[in-house]
Homo-oligomer: A and B are copies of this chain.
Amino acid sequence: MTTIKDIAREAGVSVTTVSRALNGYSDVNEKTRAKIKDIANELNYSPNALARSLVTNKTKTIGLLVSGMKKESIKDNFTYEILCGINDMSAEIGYDLIFFSTNSTMQKEKSYAQLCRERKVDGVIIQGIKTDDPYLQEVIDSEIPCVLIDIPIESNSVGYVTTDNELGAKNITEYLIDLGHKNIAMINGHNRAFVSQQRFAGYRKALSEANIALQWEYVIDGAFDEEVAYDATLKLLNEHTEITAIVCASDLMALGVMKAAKTLGLSIPSDLSVTGYDDIILASYVSPTLTTVAQDKYLMGQKATRLLAELLEGHTNERKVIVETEIKKRESAGKNTRI
């Protein structure tokens, strides 16, 4: 492996000069620089990022703490799209990405801060973490710049990217109300997710503004899981045949709801309207196609990365980024036929 020492020897200069020449410092004779560069090329030199980082205390690396890269959640390309956005943007701004491979067993042994300190990442992006995750507190306490996705926490070194979940849920609920529905149920995620709390708030607000009383029995947690949502829906619809529409806090759960409807012999949307949240790829391919609140996940990833870069470079204006959502009106929601 070629080092600057080798180059220095070959060029008959000191390592200092080599370092400065290669790093584009101005106080170096252009002739010497050219010579050094030539030799570097010839010797097939590439700098050792480890050694450099050790002294500069910068790694040009972003740590990624991503839950949901499990086999089970492959259907849900939410995480992947965010990843793509992060990847593209980080390439643009010159940061490499490091995945902390931490399975559940190890998570107990090694703290968030430890992970970051060991690898000396410049900053971190966190996605898919639950609000009761012990890591979360650590993030806030730690000095390491960090961007959270879908967790609204701000501090000196912490920012976040999210969508207006309350508004999104409110809008789509209103859309159902406009379609004539009154008995609208909600399959939510779970209360350890901020987005669930917010989406419920939006649902509630829409009902309230339309003077529809909130029925607590209509609101069920589906754990963001297709199967769980399926089971919950069967039970719900058996007990409450008056329900004509279901708002889901994720597309995946909406798929579960649609399956349940099929099981019960209900056709969508004539017997039951269903809406999702996220706009995953499947949403536009299932039959009937799924009406949903679209989040631009790719953009979220990009913005998260850009925000982190700002945090790192210390010229942050705003630590909060809200990405717009959009209702995709497709086939799964229709007029209430039971009026």
Contacts and interface: CB of A to CB of B under 8 A. Distances in A.
Nearest to A115: B46
B84 A49 contact: no
A73 to B, nearest CB: 8
Given A48-B117, A50-B50, A69-B84, 5 more contacts: A54-B54, A71-B85, A77-B80, A91-B106, A98-B98
B84 A70 contact: yes
A46 B117 contact: yes
Contact of A74 (B92, B286, B298): B298
Contact of A119 (B49, B91, B298): B49
B69 A87 contact: yes
A299 to B, nearest CB: 9
Contacts of A286: 285
Contact of A298 (B46, B48, B71, B90): B71
A101 B90 CA distance: 7
A287 interface: yes
A48 B120 contact: yes
A281 B74 contact: yes
A189 to B, nearest CB: 21
Nearest to A101: B91
A273 to B, nearest CB: 20
Interface of A: 1, 46-51, 53-54, 59, 61, 69-71, 74-75, 77, 80-81, 83-85, 87-88, 90-92, 94-103, 106, 113-114, 117-120, 281-282, 285-287, 298
Residue among A49, A50, A88 facing the most chain B CB atoms (10 A cut-off): A50
A53 to B, nearest CB: 5
Residue among A91, A92, A106 facing the most chain B CB atoms (10 A cut-off): A91
Nearest to A89: B101
22 contacts: A1-B117, A46-B118, A48-B117, A49-B119, A50-B50, A50-B54, A61-B98, A69-B83, A74-B77, A74-B281, A77-B80, A80-B83, A87-B99, A90-B99, A91-B106, A95-B101, A97-B98, A97-B101, A98-B99, A99-B99, A281-B282, A285-B286
A92 B71 CA distance: 14
B70 A88 contact: yes
A75 to B, nearest CB: 5
Nearest to A75: B281
B74 A81 contact: yes
A224 to B, nearest CB: 17
Contacts of A59: 50
A77 B81 CA distance: 10
A165 to B, nearest CB: 22
Nearest to A83: B69
Nearest to A81: B74
Given A50-B120, A59-B50, A98 B96 contact: yes
Nearest to A283: B285
A84 B73 CA distance: 9
